[in-house]
């Protein structure tokens, strides 16, 4: 629930300005299907409501077997509650209304309806697989209703806790007898996302292998692991037959076309052309009774959880906020080990100071214990986030960017976002940057950075073990994606584990045993080589990793080198900071008034249209192609991946407001990938975009 609240609070840092104006465009042809006949009636005489939120699907048969099956289970389990439905995909809602005359609310519509019906206690339970962009968007919509109901509680997606992963694994393989056949590979195809939750797929695969199913692989259409990585793994396992399953709640458009279609770019075609016997099974996760029980358990947990709360704004004496007074607040967990602090945190701060000489660079630590030790022992004063923010306010800084040095977007990062959010009204612009590992390109950069500085990774008789901290937060999956990235890049003898999360030292030991090495070099996968590195990793106690590995018969050499000592890791932090500064948004006391937006585009053959769905206050636009086949949009050197499954390709990109934005967009509609150039015209100053596009 802490993650739910943090996402809610973080949303206040950037306000949405308005939905973008769009022109009427021709619609995609939609295949006719039989009408919906089996709806779940909503109980209307209760003051307690459960809102089941799904992405949705226009495939009626699979919806009945999946989404409606989940809703029926919840209705049966909670007869005193009014169980409602909402879809997040507006395109699907529109298709169902036009084609089948079926009304489905979006999240806002459903919340409004419950309010009008006198519901007082609300539980919102998503059927999303992971805590990704769809889930974040849902939380932001729900947060607008805090205070309008007595309570609002939000459940977690399918794969959140380690317990969820284990339950889903058990449910899946209870119904797949071929999993025990050595010549058969089971491949699950997920959607994939640009969101950090994409790491969920890697954790699921590693935990599947840990459960003994070595011939099972997980890939994604639009994330990591890709089809290429999956095919390499299938080839390595020696399988002759491949069974494909969708790793999605419903077996809809992606399962039917991207997985099981006859087009050149489908997974079925790729495996068939590679010489495998291929069988496709269009079974959504919602058809599995064991999976539905996991959702039921999440509803139960949500009912018992703490309700969502609004942001409590700080109340301090403010100076004159001048936008030209710019400050960078570098936030670290901190360490009481002075030498490693100088080599890591201070090195990062020095790089930032050199890169941004016109900005005031400040420091804050999140660990109050460390702050107190430094003050008592060394007479060294370090601010916590609250103190640092209030000093910036008092000194009249109007533009502030907060850059964390955290490795993953976990609990510590959430706490920073939450605390910073409470000061939003005091600044003209206030933005929080990203931690080190967010997109997959970050993982690849970190792997390359470590490989360049760890010579043992090239040795044949030595394994490299990286020890991370670990967390119960969903971002713990980052360690699994890092492990898979090392493997995908050919570093088969590099292993990642955690002190307090997954993978554990037990998984590391299993990997070492299969590698056949005799020597292990230990490195901390943390910004600083502090207490955990000195004691949990390199200590002489029985439960240190050094002692455990030595007891298992390995020659062990610990290296106390924090990630902050690696110049390439520091360069990645600077890259994130540069992106944050470039795209920073406004955090004024009140949202800007909604502006009328005029939008048009040029380019392409005319068969595909582009609409602007939303313009956000940080000059980020949500654009949508009328085709399902667009994979990415590129601006300069940066690629933005398709965000949503469904009938339209959707991207959130930075745009030139009151000007022209040139983009390149890749489509696979013609078999082979093809890049098409477009120009986007977007104006809020009264200019007619269509006229500008026609000049």
Residues marked as catalytic: 469
- On the CB side of 57, CA atoms within 13 Å amount to 24
∠ at Cα 600 (595, 603), nearest 5°? Answer: 155
Q: Work out the angle at residue 482's Cα, subtended by the Cα atoms of residues 480 and 486, and round it to the nearest 5 degrees.
A: 120
CA–CA distances in Å: residue 418 to residues 5, 155, 309, 621: 9, 20, 12, 25
Which residue reads 């769009």 in tokens? 22
Number of C-beta neighbours around residue 308 at 10 A? 23
E runs forming strands in 2-138:
16-18, 48-54, 82-87, 121-126
Helical (H) or strand (E) element with 12? none
Region class of 275: left (phi > 0), else alpha (psi between -120 and 50), else beta = left
| 589 CB-side CA count, 13 A | 5
Name the token pair of 219.
């890939």
∠ CA 271-168-490, nearest 5°, is 45
Question: Which residue is associated with the tokens 């601006």?
Answer: 635
End-to-end, the C-alpha distance of the chain in Å comes to: 53
Instruction: Dig out the tokens for 206 from the structure.
Output: 């590693």
Query: And the tokens for 528?
Result: 């600083």
Helix (H) or strand (E) holding 476: none
Q: For the purposes of burial, counting CB atoms within 10 Å of the CB of 339, is it exposed (0-12), middle (13-18) or buried (19 or more)?
A: exposed
Q: What are phi and psi of 161, to 5 degrees?
A: -90, 160
Report the C-alpha gap between 665 and 648 in whole angstroms. 14
Measuring CA to CA, which residue among 622, 605, 604 is closest to residue 613?
622
């Amino acid at each position: 629930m802490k993650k739910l609240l943090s996402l809610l609070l973080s949303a206040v840092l950037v306000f949405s300005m308005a939905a973008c104006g769009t022109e009427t465009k021709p619609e995609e042809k939609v295949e006719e299907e039989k009408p919906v006949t089996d709806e779940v009636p909503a109980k209307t005489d209760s003051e307690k409501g459960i809102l089941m939120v799904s992405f949705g699907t226009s495939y009626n048969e699979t919806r009945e077997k999946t989404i409606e099956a989940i809703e029926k289970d919840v209705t049966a389990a909670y007869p005193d509650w009014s169980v409602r439905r909402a879809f997040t995909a507006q395109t699907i809602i529109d298709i169902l209304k036009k084609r089948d005359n079926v009304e489905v609310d979006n999240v806002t519509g459903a919340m409004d309806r419950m309010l009008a019906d006198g519901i007082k206690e609300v539980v919102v339970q998503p059927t999303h697989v992971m805590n990704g962009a769809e889930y974040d968007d849902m939380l932001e919509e729900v947060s607008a209703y805090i205070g309008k109901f007595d309570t609002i509680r939000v459940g977690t997606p399918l794969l959140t806790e380690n317990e969820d992963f284990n339950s889903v694994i058990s449910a899946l393989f209870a119904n797949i007898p071929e999993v025990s056949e050595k010549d058969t590979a089971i491949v699950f195809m997920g959607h994939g996302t640009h969101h950090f939750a994409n790491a969920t797929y890697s954790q699921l695969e590693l935990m599947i292998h840990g459960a003994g199913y070595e011939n099972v692989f997980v890939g994604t259409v639009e994330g990591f692991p890709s089809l290429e990585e999956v095919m390499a793994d299938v080839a390595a396992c020696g399988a002759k037959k491949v069974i494909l399953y969708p790793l999605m709640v419903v077996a809809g458009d992606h399962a039917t076309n991207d997985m099981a279609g006859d087009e050149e770019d489908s997974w079925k075609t790729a495996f068939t052309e590679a010489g495998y016997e291929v069988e496709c099974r269009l079974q959504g996760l919602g058809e599995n009774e064991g999976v539905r029980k996991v959702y039921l358990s999440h509803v139960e947990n949500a009912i018992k959880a703490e309700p969502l709360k609004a942001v409590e704004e700080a109340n301090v004496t403010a100076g004159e906020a001048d936008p030209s007074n710019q400050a960078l607040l570098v936030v670290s967990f901190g360490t009481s080990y002075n030498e490693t602090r100088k080599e890591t945190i201070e090195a990062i701060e020095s790089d930032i100071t050199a890169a941004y000489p016109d900005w005031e660079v400040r420091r804050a630590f999140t660990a109050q214990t460390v702050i107190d030790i430094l003050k008592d022992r060394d007479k060294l004063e370090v601010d916590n986030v609250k103190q640092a923010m209030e000093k910036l306010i008092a000194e009249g800084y109007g533009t502030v960017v907060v850059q964390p040095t955290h490795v993953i977007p976990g609990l510590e990062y959430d706490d920073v976002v939450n605390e910073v959010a409470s000061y939003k009204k005091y600044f003209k612009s206030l933005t929080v940057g990203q931690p080190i590992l967010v997109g997959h390109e970050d993982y690849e950069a970190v792997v390359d950075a470590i490989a360049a500085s760890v010579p043992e990774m090239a040795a044949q008789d030595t394994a490299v073990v990286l020890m991370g901290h670990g967390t119960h937060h969903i971002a713990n999956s980052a360690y699994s994606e890092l492990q898979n990235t090392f493997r995908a890049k050919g570093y088969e003898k590099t292993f990642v584990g955690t002190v307090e999360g997954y993978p554990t030292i037990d998984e590391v030991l299993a990997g070492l045993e299969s590698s056949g090495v005799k020597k292990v070099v230990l490195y901390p996968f943390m910004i600083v080589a502090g207490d955990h590195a000195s004691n949990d990793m390199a200590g002489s106690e029985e439960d240190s990793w050094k002692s455990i590995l030595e007891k298992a018969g390995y020659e062990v050499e610990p290296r106390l080198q924090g990630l902050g000592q690696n110049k390439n890791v520091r360069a990645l932090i600077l890259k994130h900071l540069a992106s944050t500064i470039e795209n920073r948004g406004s955090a004024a006391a009140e949202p800007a008034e909604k502006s009328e937006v005029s939008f048009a585009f040029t380019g392409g053959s005319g068969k595909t249209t582009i609409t602007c769905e939303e313009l956000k206050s940080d000059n980020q636009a949500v654009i949508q192609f009328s085709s399902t086949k667009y994979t990415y949009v590129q601006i300069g050197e940066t690629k933005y991946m398709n965000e949503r499954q469904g009938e339209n390709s959707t991207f959130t990109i930075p745009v030139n407001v009151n000007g022209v934005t040139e983009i390149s967009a890749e489509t696979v509609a013609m078999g082979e990938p093809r890049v098409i150039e477009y120009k986007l015209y977007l104006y809020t100053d009264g200019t007619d975009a269509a006229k500008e596009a026609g000049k």
